[in-house]
Structure 1
Amino acid sequence: MKKLAVFLNERQVGVLSQDRSGLLEFQYDSVWLDDRRATPLSRTLPLQDTPFKGNEARVFFAGILPDEGIRHQVASILGISERNDFVMLEHIGGECAGAVSLLPMDTVPVPESGATRPLDRQELDRIVKLLLQRPLLAGESGVRLSLAGSQTKLPVIKQNDSFALPLGNTPSTHILKPEPERFPGLVDNEFFCMSLAKEIGLKVPAVSWLRIDMTPCLFVERYDRVTDSNGVVQRLHQEDFCQALGFPPERKYQQEGGPLLRDAVALLRDWSTLPAIDILDFLEGVIFNVVIGNADAHGKNYSLLYSNGERRLAPLYDLVSTIMWPELSIVPAMKIGQSSSINRITSTNWQKMANECRIGWPMLRNRINEICRKIKVVLEQGELIESSNDQKIAGYVSATIEERVSM
């Protein structure tokens, strides 16, 4: 039986094991269960003495790992099977989303100040170039990093204009997202959409833009990391909606059997400590994604954040106008009233969604009108285009959204 120690920050909370047949099992540590302040790893992994086996254990832990092509690349580089969640976590589970990390048994986590590798500009250039061929720097000595998603990205430590690579299970502060060759303009697109969301009052992490080795890169400040008064980076735990609802990562899209919008609203109604606020914030995020033309807002692109005994909707992330690339699907990842196209969503679709989610249609209609009004005001000012790094791309995205908001 192979085993990994599972930590939340510096506390061991349990053990993940894999038997010879490949079956996963997670068992909470008795000391953790006896702690009155103990919190569960996931809504689907409540605190209990009995172990979670098979798919019960897999959903949360597989959800930590990268998706699709990135997962395949990482597995090829490491010489392991892409289907073996345990072995992949063994290699790259040191610094993950939220406060969880997986380490060899009897390993003591590094202090939060941790081990790092400073990156000068030359080394940063090398890292970005390497990252496009070696996702998450898989196989680099001392590097054990994992982030969910299908886009190339890397956890880094960024302080002002200096950068470092976290080693072992040292917490990072930002996510570096270099522009993939397949999607030119993605960085400027996401920078514009994230900035627009912030301007109209939606909760989003801070983003910045930097060209590294001629590659546009987006730096996203991690909302699941906070810096205390002593300057020490602390982790906050989180899980995405797929993990919280019990959907494996390969079922993140509704049309593949993944979560529906009504599942997401029901999750917040049942699990959030402030459901009324979080449901409204979630609905505004859904509206915003429709208006900008983001058909990829699936169950792993919304998350819950756990902090100070509260369970709250995390800030919005991965806001991109996906209709900029005609080859991408226009089917909404979570459908609005069974709509089959992000470009053809009517008031009838919205009203049906309201009924399915058990929310008032007048309230939803007012939020749609208000979000559209705010977006229109910001776009008419033109300041987001002027502050963008590539004004041509920003102008195109702006014009596309402006046309949609007037529909």
Structure 2
Amino acid sequence: MNTSFRAIQSLDVLLDKRKIGTIVRSPVYAFSFTQDYRADGGSPILSLSFLSASGELGRDPKPLAGILPAFFANLLPEGKLREVMEKYHKGNVRRRNDFDLLAALGADMSGAVQVLPSDGPVMNEMPATRFSIAGMQMKLSVARQRGEGGFTLPMDGEPGNYIAKFPPEAFPGVSENEFANLALAAAIGMDVPDRELVERSDLKNIPDEFNTHSGGPLLLVRRFDRGVGGQRIHIEDFAQVFGVQPSRKYDGAAFHQIAATLNEAVSPHAALEFVRRLALAALTGNGDMHLKNWSLIYPGDGHRPALAPIYDVLSTIPYIPTDAMALSLGRERAFKGLTASRWKAFANRARLSESAVLKAVVETVERVNQRWWHLPERDIVPAMILKRIDEQVKVMTPILGTCAR
């Protein structure tokens, strides 16, 4: 049975192509799990936010008027990309209507989730791009063209396996900045997705709505939630883990809560890897590692989470000199305030070993200073941006070095 977007009243939620629940539009946005998914104990896992403290599937989330449950709201784009998607799907998506947007974009979302009209495909629709990537920055889910070279937008739910990130007009050199920071993370042993810088001309057949006027190269990042042959690998960000709306990504939790969750749900090793990534953010001046820039990934059968590869890594200090950590660390956000006492407070709140946390910070500082100053990717970063990153590393090295005393 075909239907029109305006007539859609319910959406089927699929996890790895299996229906596990339904979202109903009227009179409130109500989400409920299917009985057979409940009978299976909520496995594979959709989100830790739906599980009780004992690990059992809890009650369906409380319906709210005009507000999607946090897990689904966090799948939708924000800012410029949302505006573009609403314009591209005009006639089907009303402005600021999350249900409409979810119905239009649900065929290709982050992780292994799809959200599709319960009554079947939309009637008389021309092929369209229907991906959804969360975040404020303008970015596209793209696929490599076979035989022709370059990249193009996948159509009607076909999975893209790369993310092409456009540099914001107000922040020159962002692509080069992030490319170099990702290279640094890889150089010091962190799990980093494949990436490259490409020219805008490498993107083919892009609709006018998706073109921007910003200059410079685009950063192309291999999607770690897509496997060989387009296999969907489930992920969730920590706004979804904690069940908070996207608007609260900067204040919905503190860093010690992420660490504690990793320690309990994944492993102590994952929690300490998170500490290393925090130390890298402080050292390089990355003030944008909010709840949506940390994720869990569910490899294999999806029954157990792991810490996802690091992503959205760049130095924000060159653009915002007064920037600070995105979330509180030991009740401190200012980079220069992150002395050993704050890391100890963080460790205690996260129920991690103080000595292990301090050691992870010190080791990260040492590794960065061993690699950053000779990193080949430094050469592509605009001189003024690089100068400010270098200054941040020099200032923060002795501050974080207090963890060695």
One fold, TM greater than 0.5?
yes
- Amino acid aligned to 2:12: A
| Mapped contact 1:209–1:216 kept (Cα < 8 A) | yes
Q: Does 1:399 align with 2:390?
A: yes
Letter matched to residue 269 of structure 1: N
Q: 1:200 aligns with which of 160, 175, 188?
A: 188
How many equivalent pairs are there? 364
The residue aligned with 2:4 is none
Which moved further from structure 2: 285-294 or 346-355? Answer: 346-355
Structure 1 counterpart of 2:219, one-letter code: L
Map residues 47-86 of structure 1 onto 2, 5 A cutoff. 51-54=60-63, 58-72=69-83, 74-75=85-86, 78=90, 80-86=93-99
1:249 aligns with 2:246: yes
Which of 255, 267, 271 is residue 265 of structure 2 equivalent to? 271
Amino acid at match of 1:84: N
Counterpart in 2 of 1:383? 376
Give yes or no for the alignment of 1:97 onto 2:102: no
Q: What secondary structure, in the 3-state scheme, does the structure 2 residue paired with 1:235 have?
A: coil
Distance 1:284 1:304 in 2: 16
Taking the aligned partners of 2:310 and 2:73, their CA distance within structure 1 comes to 22
Q: Confirm or deny: 8 A CA contact 1:292 1:404 kept in the other structure.
A: no
Question: Which AA in structure 1 matches 2:376?
Answer: E
Deviation of 1:178 after TM superposition, in Å, equals 1.3
Segments of 5+ residues of structure 1 without an aligned counterpart are 110-138
Aligned to 2:337: 344
Output the amino acid matched with 2:155.
L
Determine which of 295, 299, 303 is the counterpart of 1:307: 299
Task: Quote how far apart the aligned CAs of 1:48 are.
Answer: 5.3
Partner of residue 286, structure 1: 278
Q: Which residue of 1 aligns with 2:16?
A: 9
3-state SS of 2:291 partner: coil
Contact 2:237–2:294 at 8 Å: present in 1 too? yes
In the other structure, the counterpart of 2:310 is 316
In the other structure, the counterpart of 2:253 is: 259
CA–CA distance in 1 between the matches of 2:40 and 2:351? 37
Residues 297-355 of structure 1: CA distance to partner in whole angstroms, max 9, x if unpaired?
Answer: 1111101111223211111110110001036x613211222224224322222222222
Alpha-carbon distance in structure 2 between the residues aligned to 1:366 and 1:31: 46
Give the superposition deviation at 1:397: 5.6
Cα distance change of structure 1 residues 380 and 85 upon mapping to structure 2, 3 Å threshold: same
Matched residue type, 1:406: T
CA RMSD across the alignment: 2.7
Note the C-alpha offset of 1:373.
Answer: 0.7
Name the counterpart of 1:374.
367
For structure 2, which runs of at least 5 residues remain unmatched after alignment? 1-7, 202-214, 399-405
2:137 paired residue among 137, 151, 164:
151
Structure 2 contact 33–60 (Cα < 8 Å) conserved: yes
Q: Deviations over 1:75-124 (max 9, x none)?
A: 46636455422111012222111111111124379xxxxxxxxxxxxxxx
Please list the CA deviations of residues 252-292 of structure 1 after superposition, one character each: whole Å capped at 9, or x if unmatched: 112xxx111121122223322xx112111111111111111
Question: Which contiguous aligned blocks of 4+ residues in structure 1 show a shift greater than 6 angstroms?
Answer: none
Determine the C-alpha separation between the residues in 2 that align with 1:376 and 1:50. Answer: 49
Which residue of the partner structure matches residue 158 of structure 2? Answer: 170
Could you tell me how far apart the structure 2 residues matched to 1:349 and 1:33 are? 42
Q: State the TM-score, normalizing by the size of structure 1.
A: 0.81
TM-superposed CA distance for 1:399, in Å, is 2.0
Alignment-derived partner of residue 197 in structure 2:
209
Quick one: which amino acid aligns to residue 10 of structure 1?
Answer: K
Partner Cα separation in structure 1 for residue 327 and residue 268 of structure 2: 21
AA aligned to 1:403 is K
Shift of 1:391: 5.6
Match of 2:32 in 1: 27
Q: What pairs up with 1:93-242 in 2 under 5 angstroms?
A: 93-107=106-120, 141-158=127-144, 161-213=149-201, 215-227=216-228, 232-242=229-239
Q: Is contact 1:339–1:349 with CA below 8 Å preserved after alignment? A: yes
Give the aligned residue type for 1:53.
K
Provide TM-score, normalisation by structure 2. 0.82
